[in-house]
Amino acid sequence: MTDFSNLKTKYPDLIPIRMDFECGPGWEKVLDKYFGEVAVALPSGTRLRLERVYEKYGSLRVDAMPEGPVANLVHLALDKAEFLADSRSYRYCETCGEPASLRDKHWLYVACEAHANGAPPLPPDEGGIKLDGVAYEYDEGLDDLVVVTPRAKRPTGAKR
């Protein structure tokens, strides 16, 4: 288990030096992106209250909020960054960081073939998220959230 000291050095204002992340070292790049996005989103002088970084049901979860009152847009940006981190974590092995899939063998985990322990790959389970009444989903090609619109969905029962 890494102590993620590289990230703590890179984001000293965001990550308490003694904090333990309850996840594997393979997600360092996912967390690097997350903290990069948070650093951009937080107004100067506003601190991040980072409560927990952990794995749950296979994927990466972050519990964090801005310290003190901030504009709604800042909350929205942090919520988006959290959901992006969760979505991205389904694609990288929690152990080694190589391209990976969700696996289910006694419990859910994200692993590459080498760390899969024989479990077959499953599709990611990120679903979507509704923020301020707008539905978003993760677009892997864009590596970003996109707004879900009804016409973006393929009509069910259409002939192909």
Check: CB of residue 33 under 8 Å from CB of residue 85: yes
Stretch that binds Zn ion, among 34-42, 72-80, 86-94, 144-152 (CB under 5 A): 86-94
Distance of CA 85 to the CA centre of its chain: 1
Minimum separation from the CB atom of position 131 to Zn ion (A)? 32
Say whether residue 93 binds Zn ion (CB under 5 A).
yes
The DSSP 8-state label assigned to residue 152 in this structure reads G
Helices 28-41 + 72-89 axis angle, to 10: 170
Of 50-58, 72-80, 84-92, 94-102, the segment contacting Zn ion by CB under 5 A is 94-102
How many of the chain's residues bind Zn ion (CB under 5 A)?
A: 6
Name which of 36 and 97 has its Cβ closer to Zn ion: 97
x/- string (CB under 5 A) for Zn ion, residues 100-139?
------------x--x------------------------
Phi-psi category of residue 57: left, alpha or beta, with phi > 0 → left and psi -120 to 50 → alpha: left
**Among candidate residues 35, 41, 105, the one with its CA nearest the CA of residue 76:** 41
Q: Which is nearer to Zn ion, 71 or 114 (CB)?
A: 114
Question: H or E stretch including 9?
Answer: helix 5-10
Instruction: Kindly list the residues in this chain that would bind Zn ion in the complex (CB under 5 A).
Output: 93, 95-96, 98, 112, 115
